[in-house]
Amino acid sequence: MDTYSVIPIRFTLNGDKVSIEAGAHETALTVIRERLSLKGTKEGCGMGECGACTILVDGKSVNACLMAAPQLEGRTVMTVEGLGREGKLHPLQEAFLEHHGVQCGFCTPGLLMSAQSLILETPRPTHKQVVEAISGNLCRCTGYQQIVDAIQYGADKTGGEE
Amino acid sequence: MLTHPAYARPETLYEALLFLKTHGIDTRPLAGGTDVMVDLRAGKLKSEYLLDISRLKELQGIGLSKDGLSIGAGVTISEIYNSPLVAKNAPSLIKSCAFFGSPQIRNVATIGGNVGNASPSADTVPPLLVHEARAVLASENGERTVALANLFEGPYRSGIRPDELLIRFILEPADGRFTDFQKIGRRKALAISRMSMALLADPKEDGTLGTVRLALGSGTPTPMRMEAVEAFLKGKRADRQTVEAGSRLMAEEMVRITGRRPSTEYKEKAVQGLFLRILAPLVE
């Protein structure tokens, strides 16, 4: 079996096919944020504690800082940039604005992705399910209540559009 | 500082085992990455190779047979948490998965990684121990099965040989007996257990305890069964007095095994509290 210091990887990022070479010493976060310049995915702690780097891989929330870049091979990845469209926010994003779920904004992309992962599985989450779904995301500004409200409201609106 | 290990992605288990036969000593298996990538970033990963076993089908799957409940080493904590088979046959394992890390961690972290990393605070280990789990290990030479209780050699030393991979675990089903898992952490999510405990017990009709299995995490160098406490409880009625005496014995045993450390003063009280909490549903 061959070993690689860098290996070609192909994956789908926000609907587009991506080909890039990366090594196991690089994380999915480095590739997305530094190499592909999608700056919505943040690095907070770099060790899976804060959730600022949360992305969806095959629809499930993961910490991009803990995924080796070659593990992206063949996966379907969504970052916060894939949530809305140019000029049109996703209902979850609108809800964050309306319910004051954003203060400094650093945790927001990660929280949006955790919320999106939740409503893909549970379109009408309870308060408890929302709290559980964002338990891996730290916010040091809001105190969370506004975020929980925003996600429940956003889930209702998302469901309403489908 | 980041080290630069080379990356290898085997297509089959056999390919992985052949690789380990030659390079095992220089290789760290990579599954969910939630421990490996933290070590890599901290400059603590000294391995020359990362062997990506996260796609090996041979490490997947949960099934029930006459041997017991089988859980593949590559099964994620989320998959275990959502498995009706595990919920029925090992509810305490489900509970340990419910409080494991965070949703993002649970979606990728595997039970094999949690066990193989051999942390004293590994959350899935106390439940596995009370189910008398056996670990199936494979090398190019074949498979061997080891009682999980005999696998660990010390903190972060799993006893898995460099040319071996954990393949699956086989648990004795709960079969209607009482099982539970309890843990103390600094915060609810993402907390490394400061102490954890699993119990499997079989209260008889006359109120005495039949089988009692009790495992402690984060209180001893590796998670382990507390056999002296099990023997003390067996055949007794779970009344207030017995359980309180049991909790004192639990603390004594922990100190006897681990020795006194700066954290002992806290842990002696914590272990008694956790013991009383986990036995409370059985107390008359």
pLDDT tens-digit map of A48-58: 999 999 999 99
Select from A25, A65, A135 the Cβ nearest to the Cβ of B188: A135
pLDDT tens-digit map of B198-235: 999 999 988 899 999 999 999 999 999 999 999 999 99
What are the residue ranges of helices labelled H in A59-103?
Answer: 91-98
Give residue A47's pLDDT.
94
Q: What residues form DSSP beta bridges with B133? A: none
Select from A2, A62, A73 the Cβ nearest to the Cβ of B104: A62
Please state which of the four CATH numbers 3.30.110.30, 3.30.390.50, 3.40.50.10310, 3.40.50.1820 is assigned to the domain occupying B178-282.
3.30.390.50
Q: In angstroms, rounded to a whole number, what is the distance separating the alpha carbons of residues B245 and B251?
A: 10
Q: How far is CA B237 from the centre of its chain?
A: 29
**How far off is chain B from A112, nearest CA to CA, in Å?**
13
Give residue B4's pLDDT.
87
Provide residues of A within 8 Å CB-CB of chain B: 1-5, 7, 23-25, 27, 46-49, 51, 54, 60-63, 65-68, 70-71, 73, 114, 117, 132-133, 135-137
Give residue A156's pLDDT.
87
Give residue A114's pLDDT.
98
**Mean pLDDT across A101-110:** 97
Confidence of residue A162 (pLDDT cuts 50, 70, 90): very low
Give residue B3's pLDDT.
66
Q: Which of A21, A63, A73 to mutate to test the interface with B (most CBs of B within 10 A)?
A: A63
**Whether pLDDT at A133 is above 60:** yes
Q: In angstroms, rounded to a whole number, what is the distance separating the alpha carbons of residues B69 and B57?
A: 18
Give residue B96's pLDDT.
95
- Exposed/middle/buried for B118, CB within 10 Å: 0-12, 13-18, 19+? buried
- Exposed/middle/buried for A84, CB within 10 Å: 0-12, 13-18, 19+? middle
pLDDT above 90 coverage of chain A, percent: 90
- Which CATH number describes the domain made up of B58-171? 3.30.465.10
User: In the numeric block, which tokens belong to residue B95?
Assistant: 């509970």
Helix H or strand E segment including A54? strand A54-57
Confidence of residue A159 (pLDDT cuts 50, 70, 90): low
8 Å CB contact of B108 and A61: no
What are the E-state strand segments in chain B? Answer: 6-8, 27-30, 49-52, 62-65, 68-72, 134-139, 142-147, 165-171, 178-184, 195-203, 209-217, 224-225
The domain spans of chain A are 7-82, 91-161
Topology of domain A7-82, per CATH?
Answer: Ubiquitin-like (UB roll) (3.10.20)
Select from A24, A65, A135 the Cβ nearest to the Cβ of B7: A24
pLDDT tens-digit map of B73-104: 999 999 999 999 999 999 999 999 998 999 99
**How far off is chain B from A59, nearest CA to CA, in Å?**
10
Give residue B190's pLDDT.
62
Give residue B162's pLDDT.
97
Backbone angles phi, psi at B181, to 5 degrees: -135, 135
DSSP code, position B214:
E
DSSP code, position B280:
G
The chain-wide mean pLDDT, for chain B, equals: 94
**Cβ-contact B168, B136 below 8 angstroms:** yes
CATH 3.30.465.10 range(s) for chain B read 58-171
Closest to B107 in 3D by CA, of A48, A123, A127: A48
Give residue B1's pLDDT.
43
ipTM for the predicted complex: 0.95
Q: What is the pTM of this model?
A: 0.95
Give residue B103's pLDDT.
96
Q: In angstroms, rounded to a whole number, what is the distance separating the alpha carbons of residues A91 and B278?
A: 44
From residue B195, give the alpha-carbon distance in Å to each of B112, B181, B191, B275.
Answer: 21, 11, 11, 11
**How far off is chain B from A100, nearest CA to CA, in Å?**
24
8 Å CB contact of A66 and B33: yes
pLDDT tens-digit map of A1-21: 888 899 999 999 999 999 999
Other Cβ atoms within 10 Å of B6 Cβ, number:
21
B-chain residues near A5 (CB < 8 A): 4, 6-7
A-chain residues near B50 (CB < 8 A): 24, 68
Q: In angstroms, rounded to a whole number, what is the distance separating the alpha carbons of residues B73 and B110?
A: 7
Select from B7, B36, B189 the Cβ nearest to the Cβ of A4: B7
Topology of domain B6-52, per CATH?
Answer: 3.30.43
pLDDT tens-digit map of B12-71: 999 999 999 999 999 999 999 999 999 999 999 989 999 999 999 999 999 999 999 999
8 Å CB contact of A25 and B103: no
Confidence of residue B187 (pLDDT cuts 50, 70, 90): low
Give residue B189's pLDDT.
61
CATH architecture entry for A91-161: Orthogonal Bundle (1.10)
CATH 3.30.43.10 range(s) for chain B read 6-52
Q: In angstroms, rounded to a whole number, what is the distance separating the alpha carbons of residues A144 and A101?
A: 8
Q: Which of B40, B102, B117, B188 to mutate to test the interface with A (most CBs of A within 10 A)?
A: B102
Provide residues of B within 8 Å CB-CB of chain A: 2-10, 15, 18-19, 30, 32-34, 36-38, 40-41, 49-50, 52, 54, 78, 101-105, 107-108, 188-190
Collect all residues with Cβ–Cβ distance below 8 Å to B5 and sequence separation of at least 6. Answer: A24, A25, B28, B40, B45, B47, B48, B49, B50
pLDDT tens-digit map of B131-178: 999 999 999 999 999 999 999 999 999 999 999 999 999 999 999 999
Closest to B267 in 3D by CA, of B281, B253, B278: B253
pLDDT tens-digit map of B240-257: 999 999 999 999 999 999
Q: In angstroms, rounded to a whole number, what is the distance separating the alpha carbons of residues A108 and A52?
A: 8
CATH 3.30.390.50 range(s) for chain B read 178-282
8 Å CB contact of A67 and B102: no
Task: To the nearest 10°, report the CA torsion of A18, A23, A28, A31.
Answer: -60
Collect all residues with Cβ–Cβ distance below 8 Å to A160 and sequence separation of at least 6. Answer: none
A47 half-sphere exposure, CB direction, 13 A CA radius: 10
